[in-house]
């Protein structure tokens, strides 16, 4: 009953006991989660594999929770910050100015964006951007933000094709930030 993907397929998307339908997006989450581990295992070994598996899993949780509830839990962001801190500690890079500059500048960018466009960016998005600034430094985190914004625009365009209105009042930005972080980080690895 608990084998990812295979259980869903063998049970034809229904609970074995009560026969209620299981949402198909759960299958998508299992596929994405498994893909994250496969990609991580193909790149990293040992402690680095454990680190990135945990980091990407937390980012995936952030993306899913923000997608459904428009909220990024502080406890998950704290975990990401702790992982990032230990990442820099292990690489002896805590004393490098670009990572601290990245935190400050990404917070300034986030606060400025929310000031100019009220309800445009949530507090969770700003904290997530600051964590990315801490991880990458300012320039790569800016690229992450630009890529996330581009994906958000494409998402709005696709959404407008299926709905009668062009503008959605709110879209979750956390999934786009998480995906762009994953893409930029894996790009740097390659």
- Break the chain into its structural domains and give their ranges: 70-189
Residue 55 Cα distances to 11, 43, 86, 90, 112, angstroms: 31, 14, 12, 15, 28
pLDDT tens for residues 27-38?
898 899 899 999
Nearest to 56 by CA among 37, 38, 73, 75: 37
pTM check: above 0.85: yes
Predicted local distance difference test score (pLDDT) of residue 167:
59
Q: Is the pLDDT of residue 165 over 60?
A: no
pLDDT tens for residues 95-137?
999 999 999 999 999 999 888 888 778 899 999 999 999 999 9
């Amino acid at each position: 009953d608990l084998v990812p993907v295979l259980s869903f397929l063998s049970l034809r998307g229904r609970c074995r006991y009560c026969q209620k339908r299981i949402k198909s997006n759960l299958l998508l989450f299992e596929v994405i989660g498994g893909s994250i581990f496969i990609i991580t295992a193909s790149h990293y070994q040992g402690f680095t594999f454990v680190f990135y598996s945990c980091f990407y899993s937390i980012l995936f949780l952030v993306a899913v929770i923000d997608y459904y509830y428009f909220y990024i839990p502080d406890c998950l962001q704290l975990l990401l910050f702790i992982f990032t801190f230990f990442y820099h500690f292990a690489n002896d890079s805590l004393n490098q100015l670009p990572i601290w500059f990245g935190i400050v500048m990404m917070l300034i960018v986030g606060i400025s964006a929310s000031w100019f466009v009220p309800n445009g960016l949530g507090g969770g998005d700003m904290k997530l951007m600051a964590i990315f600034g801490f991880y990458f430094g300012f320039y790569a985190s800016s690229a992450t933000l630009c890529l996330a914004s581009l994906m958000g625009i494409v998402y709005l365009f696709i959404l407008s094709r299926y709905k009668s209105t062009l503008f959605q009042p709110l879209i979750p930005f956390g999934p786009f930030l998480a995906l762009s972080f994953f893409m930029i980080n894996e790009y740097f690895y390659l």
